[in-house]
A and B are shown apart, each in its own frame.
Chain A
Amino acid sequence: MPETLRNIGLIIRREYLQRLRTRAFWVMTFLIPAMMAGFTLLPSKLMTMKVGGLKRITVVSDDAQLTEGFKEQFAAKGSAGSEQYMVEPDSIATDAELQRLKTEVANKKLDGFVWLTKDAVTSGKVNFYTRSTADFEMQERLSQALFRAVVRQRVLSSGATHVDLDNLLKRVQLDAVPVEAGKSTGIALFFTTLLLVMVLYMTVIVHGVAVMRSVLEEKTSRVMEVMLATVTPKELMAGKMIGVGAVGLTQIAVWAMVALLLKGFAMAQASAMGESVHLSLTLGIYFTIFYVLGFMLYSSMSAALGAMVNSDEEAQQLSFVVVMPIVIAVMFMMFIFRAPSAPLSVVLSLIPFFAPILMFMRIMVEQPPMWQIALCIALMVATIYVVVNISARIYRVGILMYGKRPTLPEIIKWVKYA
C-alpha cells in the first residue's frame, strides 16, 4: 500500500510538473476564457454594431398622411447610436414604379423601399424590398415605425380626435427580477452563465482529451514497458488522471484569482461591471465540483480510449465518443436557460454525462432544490465509480496491445477478463 501511494504520487508529480512547464498550459489558461468570451459576446456585439454610412430608403404610398406618419415615427425611433437613415416619400404606386425601384435597389442607388399602399395596409401585409433581408436591426426599426404609423392612422380614421397618441403607444418595459437577492439579472446573467458554462465545458474537454493523448504517447513511445516494470496499470492510470486533473484545477485557480482582481478593480471604479457580473464564492465552489466530477468521468473514458488506439488518427476518430455527450449537453443549454425548472430540464441535468454542464447551468440561472444537487452529485459519483472500473480494465489490457484497433467484442472480453 505505501508503495502504491508512493508510485501514484510520483506519477502525479511528473504529469503535473511536465504540463505546467509547457507554454501550451499558459496559453490555454488565458486563451480559453478569452475565446469563450469572444464566442459568446462578440456575435451579439457585432449584430448591434453600426455598419456606418447613410442608408437611403424610399416609402411608396398613395396615402400622403400615412407616409408622413411613417417618416415621423421612423425618425423618432432613431437614437444617437444607431444608423443614419434618409427616408424619401414617393407617391407613384404603380407597377412600373415598383420595377424601377427594384432596379435602383439592385444597382445600390437605394438601400430599400417600403411598399406602403392603402391596399397593403388593409391586407395587413407590407413588403420591404431590400438587397439583404438579414439586417434585423433595420427591419426591427422599420417594423416598429410601421406599426405605430398604422395604428395612429386607424385610430384617427375611427373618428377619435384629440387623443394623446404618443402617450397611448408609449412603450412599457418588462424586466425580469430574480426573487433571490444577489443574483444578477437579465442579459448580464445570460452572458455570465454562457461564459462560465462554456469555460467549464472547454476545461473538461481539453483536459479529458489530454489524458487520452498522454496515454497514447506512452504507448507509442513504448515508455509504458519501462513504467509497468515498476508500477501497476491502475497506479499509472490513477496518477495520470489526478495529475492532469490537477493541472485543470490550477487553471481554475488562476482564473479565480484574475476574476477576483478584476472584480475588485471594477468595484473600486464603482462601475456597473462589478455589479452586473455576479461571481460568488458558492458559484466558484460549484464550478470546481462540477469540473472535478466531469473531468473524472470524461478522463477515465478518455484513458480507456487512449489505451485502445495506436495512432493520433485513430484517437481522433474515436474522440467523438468522449466529446459527443458533452456536446449534446451544450445543445440543451438554451432550453435549460429558458426553463430551468421544467421536468425535462431537471431530468437532463441529473443525467451524469450531461450534469457537469446542465446542473451547473441550472445552479447559475436559478437555485435548484438542494436534494436535486445532492442527487446529481451522488449519481455522478456512482457513474464515475463504474466507468473508472471498466476503463481501468480496458486500459490494463490495451496498453500492451499494439497493432490493429480492437473490435467491440474484443473490448468486452477485456472488460470481463479478471
Chain B
Amino acid sequence: MSTVELQQVRKSYNRVVAVDDLSFTIAPGTIFGLLGPNGAGKTSTIRMMIGITLPDSGVVRLFGSPFCRKHLQRVGYLPEERGLYKKMKVNEHLVLLGRLHGLSAAEASRRVHQWCERLEIAEKLEKKVEELSKGMQQKIQFIAALLHDPDFIIMDEPFSGLDPVNTVLLKDVLLEMKRAGKTILFSTHQMEQVERLCDSITLIDGGRAVLQGDLRQIKSRYGRNNVHIEYEGNGDFLQKNALVGSYNNFGNYVEVRLAPGADAQELLRSVAAHSRVNKFELVEPSLEQIFIEVVGKNNA
C-alpha cells in the first residue's frame, strides 16, 4: 500500500494548467523528491494531496484510500509560504496547531516543550512570534508540522533561508523520522539540497512529469559521462570542441558533459595542451544537470 498515490491528476486555474496528467506513488518509509523549477506545479500538487484544493480530474489516494479529511491527522505539512500569527506566543501557537491536529492540550504542551528543547529554542517559548528571526520562525513551523507525529510529512522548501547549522539540525531530524518508518515528501527547486536524501523523485516542469523513478537508477542511466575540470589558463578549449556536448563554466572550474561517444582521455589531452590541469574527475551527473538536460530537451 502506497502512502500517496496520484493517478492522472489535473488541475487548472483560469485556463492556466498548473498540474497536467500527473501520476506517481510514494512508498511507505521512503523519501520522495518532488522537484522542479519555480511555477512547475509543485505546490499545486501538494495542495491537492491535503485537500486544500480538489483536482479537476484524476484521483488522489492517501494511505490507500481516496482523500478524506480524517487523513489530515496523519499528515504534517510545512508550507513553502511560511506564516504564523505574529502576535501569538510561540508556546500558545504550537499548542493551538497541535490541538487542531487532534492532540489534547496537555499532550500538545508536553510535546511542544520536548521539541523546543530538541531544536534549541526552548527559551523562546514565551516570546511572541513577531519577536523571532525568520530562521526561528521556520523552526517553529517545522515543529508544528511534526508535533502530532504524522506518518506522512510534507516539506515544501524546508531548508530555504536556513543557515548551515540549522539545515543539518533539521535534516538529521528528518532522517531520524525516516528510520522510524515515516514517509517524507520534499518539494524543492534546489536540487542539490535533497539529492542525497531522496530515494525516488518526480521531476516536473510546466505541470507535467518529465522524469520519474528511483534516483540511483536515473543517475546510472545518465552514466558517467560528466567531467569536472579545475584548470588554470584560458578556457578556449571548450569552444568548438567536438568532444564537449555542453558545459557550465565557473571560471577556473568547469563541469563538462561529454558529447555522445566522446572519450574522456581525449578531452584530458586537449585540455592539457592549452591549460594547466589541477583536477580532472569523471563523475555521475548531478540532479540539476539531469534536470537542465531533460527540460532543455523538452523545450527545444
Do the beta carbons of B86 and A221 come within 8 Å of each other?
yes
**How does the 8 Å CB contact mask read for B86-113 relative to A, with 1 for contact and 0 for none?**
1110000000110111100000000000
CB closest chain-A residue, reference B52: A228
CB closest chain-A residue, reference B144: A226
- Complex partner residue of B85 from A3, A18, A229, CB under 8 angstroms: A18
Show 5 A/B contacts (Cβ-Cβ < 8 Å), sorted by A: A22-B87, A221-B85, A225-B81, A229-B75, A400-B53
A410 interface contact, C-beta 8 A: yes
Do the beta carbons of A400 and B52 come within 8 Å of each other?
yes
Do the beta carbons of B72 and A226 come within 8 Å of each other?
no
A interface residues with partner B (beta carbon < 8 Å): 3, 6-7, 10, 14, 18, 22, 218, 221-232, 400, 410
Residue in B52, B70, B72, B87 whose Cβ sees the most chain A Cβ within 10 Å: B52
Given contacts A3-B69, A14-B96, contact A222 B79 (CB under 8 A): yes
CB closest chain-A residue, reference B141: A226
For the residues of B in contact with A, the DSSP-based class is loop
Additional 17 contacts, C-beta under 8 A, given A226-B77, A229-B77: A3-B102, A6-B99, A7-B100, A18-B88, A221-B83, A221-B85, A222-B79, A223-B83, A225-B81, A225-B83, A226-B144, A229-B52, A229-B75, A230-B72, A230-B101, A400-B47, A410-B14
B82 partner residues in chain A, CB cutoff 8 A: 222
Given contacts A229-B75, A230-B72, A230-B100, contact A18 B87 (CB under 8 A): yes
CB closest chain-B residue, reference A231: B100
B132 interface contact, C-beta 8 A: no
**How does the 8 Å CB contact mask read for B54-72 relative to A, with 1 for contact and 0 for none?**
0000000000000001101
Given contacts A18-B88, A229-B52, contact A224 B83 (CB under 8 A): yes
- Complex partner residue of A226 from B53, B86, B97, CB under 8 angstroms: B97
Q: Min CB distance, A322 to chain B, in Å?
A: 24
CB closest chain-A residue, reference B47: A400
A225 partner residues in chain B, CB cutoff 8 A: 52, 79-81, 83
Query: CA–CA, A133 to B70, complex, Å?
Result: 75
B50 partner residues in chain A, CB cutoff 8 A: 229
A218 partner residues in chain B, CB cutoff 8 A: 83, 85
Q: Min CB distance, B178 to chain A, in Å?
A: 21
What 4 A-B pairs are tightest by C-beta distance, nearest first?
Answer: A222-B83, A223-B83, A225-B79, A222-B81
Do the beta carbons of B83 and A10 come within 8 Å of each other?
no
In the complex, chain B residues 135-153 whose Cβ is within 8 Å of any chain A Cβ: 141, 144
Given contacts A229-B75, A232-B69, contact A221 B100 (CB under 8 A): no
